[in-house]
Chain A
């Protein structure tokens, strides 16, 4: 088993705080140089839409923060294929380059991780 941590982010960005929580835990783990996989599943893929302008609802743009992942050394970023297609989204519309992954690949990430944070 590898010593990586897999994060599964399943919440849309602004209606609840889970997307921010998940990201904060991952950034903190990254500061401690943990190997991280970050997976966007279900409504979590909405975090990746470009041109979010949440200033009017007094929130910080989640997509813009995700663009800083590479500075934290979080490079293994995946987005679930079915979650994209069932929401009529394509990879081109996303704010960061996430690898499109099918269920089998995500299942393997989970299997090969030390622990899994699912928010």
Chain B
């Protein structure tokens, strides 16, 4: 008969196996060489240099107008997307919805605090499709329309930016989520942590090096002119709202960005234009299908054309007139639309850098927009 001790050992077989000392394996004397240097002293000096350099860089960045703000990346977007409840009011679209719509005023007027899912330089469609495909969502979508971004074909940066964010929302790992939570307090206190402005890559891009005359180099993106909070509410900085070098620089950057690029050299022009038209027609169909799907569940959608001014307005009116994309979207989707120029109380605003309202004007604009939104949404 086995003793109680052997029973006990048998029961503990797995833990013993787990913790057993591997007696058969002998220590191997392979060791990487360690350079014989005074490592403590070197490390102390390195740490001091890095702290001094980072502090000097922070001081310099603040002295030239940069302030701490969150970076608008896919992880911040994902954390905001997670806040969408079945009956939420959700803002989607481009940077105009980001800068021009004040969440406090919309909350006062609509009774719910909107969730800000608009993204700078992005196409609204991937986010609209994501919400339309979310069976739990039957809330309200406020969708900003900048025609060139709204019909951007697949594979272009406006589409990829939005698709990347939507994809991240569905695939974000625990590690990515944790990094976002760790990064936010840092970004809120350190001015130089601006991923789209003060990284080494961006600093290199600013070097005034002329390109080959025939080089097809992408146009420059505008410099820093806004701050962002944890709700992804963007506000224009004062320096940009005032006439000056920053303002005029941004104005001149919008023009090439909003100018239709020439057709690629490797596709005949008529073939390219036919492809583009097909892509735009497909986008109209997709938008209509997404809107129908949302409304079939009791959701609502309203389209907005937000203010823009100066040379940029002239360019947009010429290249993407209202009768083109805007009218077609409203007609195809049979959804309400608010075109700011239709209403005197919405059309008197001036965009300092031609594309977005200043922080102060965005509050007043949103206040004036609320009655129109309530009317369009039949609230």
A, B from the same assembly: no
Give B residues with C-beta under 8 Å from A. Answer: none
Give A residues with C-beta under 8 Å from B. Answer: none
